[in-house]
Structure 1
Amino acid sequence: MMGLVPFLGMEDCLSGKSALFINNSNLVIELKESMSANQLNGYKRRFGKSDSVVLDELGYAPFDQIGSEILFNLLSNRTTVGLMTITTNLSFDRWEETFKDLIITATMVDRLTHRVHVLDFHGPSFRAEDIKKWLN
């Protein structure tokens, strides 16, 4: 069974659009590496060129101050450029656990939730269901 998140990126590609699918923790690592190599602006340009960005697992792991700031900058620029899908297991009131800064968190939530559709899924995880089937 395929999850919804990769499916969204595949649908974009099948319709002729470019799509970027990336895990949030990996994105922050790539941003920091680009910054260390003085290539952050080039990375941001490439990120902005995708028709659609699927950012998976925001909130899974917390960031340091630098990670939070560069991710905020990248995503806040993206909100005016094109389609973005973000998955998270945290409600907005818990995002400060990830970003560790109240101002960045509040501004990030404000920008990312402007003119969007928020889908809230509840229920059993398809991965947990697969494990139950495998164990039986």
Structure 2
Amino acid sequence: MDKRQEMIEMCKELRLPSIQAFIQEDDMWKQHQTAEDFLYHALVQEMQDREVRAKANRIRSANFPEKKLLTELETERLPQNAASRLPQLKKLDFIQEKQNVLLIGSPGTGKTHIAIGLGIEACLSGYKVYFTTVSSLVNQLKESRSERTLRSFELKFEKYDLVIIDELGYISFDKEGAELLFTHLSLRAGRASTIVTSNLSFDRWEEIFHDPVLTAALTDRLTHRAYMVDMVGPSYRILDTKEWLENSQL
């Protein structure tokens, strides 16, 4: 076995796929004459490829239900307050400052799209992100409690740089679910960022939690130093349906 083939085998053993590909490519092998030059370019390639894989892994691990990019948003159709706040949110300073983002308003106005888009941007910027719906999170919390793994779940939940909790307001909770959700959101208050989307204004959150004291405490923790984004406006989906019906009649 010559040295080149031996290096390829070592790369396989060390799990260095980019350097392995670099060595296997004849043009690269011939182009870089000195060992120092060759090694430098091989390491640069490995670093770049690892960063690409790391970004893809963060996005995959974030549990997004679908890929929605901020660049795909039709900003002219967003509610005015959302359109004006989006440029600032795109900078992701709120994650660095451990601030929350609350997207509150009508169904179909782009709340989930903005939340996922910000989450993907955060993944690409090196942050650890987790996406969940409220109903899924409450079910996970209840299962963890019954299986006596709640503390392990808490520790994992606290370590995310950004947690996105979608669809607050679509279902109400029993006492156990409300208390578990309150406790876990409180764990992140002032320590890490959370994005919450809801179709209900704050004065209606008691309909979800059925406890005025708990509702007031949770609202206070979530809104402290938070970005409040008013998402009240006409539904994207209804507008799209109207346009489709009009076009189909032509």
Name the TM tier (shorter chain): over 0.9
Q: Which runs of 5+ in 2 are unaligned?
A: 1-71, 74-112
Structure 1's unaligned 5+ residue stretches are: none
With the length of structure 1 as denominator, give the TM-score of the two structures: 0.93
Amino acid at match of 1:59: G
Written as runs of structure 1 = structure 2, the 5 A alignment for 1:1-136 is 3-135=113-245, 136=248
Shift of 1:80: 2.4
Distance 2:123 2:131 in 1: 11
Identity, in percent, stands at 47
Q: What's the C-alpha RMSD, in Å, of the aligned pairs?
A: 1.4
Which range moves more in the overlay, 126-135 or 9-18? Answer: 126-135
Residue 198 of structure 2 aligns with an amino acid whose one-letter code is T
Cα-to-partner distance string for 1:70-96 (whole Å, 9 max, x where unaligned): 100000111122111101011111000
More helix by share: 2
SS at match of 1:118: strand
> Aligned-pair distance for 1:133?
4.1
* TM-score normalised to structure 2 length: 0.52
Q: What's the secondary structure of 2:126's corresponding residue?
A: coil
The AA in structure 1 aligned to 2:172 is P
Q: For 2:185 and 2:153, how far apart are their aligned partners in 1?
A: 13
- Which has the higher mean CA deviation after the structures are superposed, 1-10 or 72-81? 1-10
Query: Separation in 2 of the partners of 1:35 and 1:133?
Result: 48
- CA offsets per residue over residues 42-71 of structure 1, 9 Å max, x none? 111111111101111111100000000010
Cα displacement (A) at 1:131: 3.3
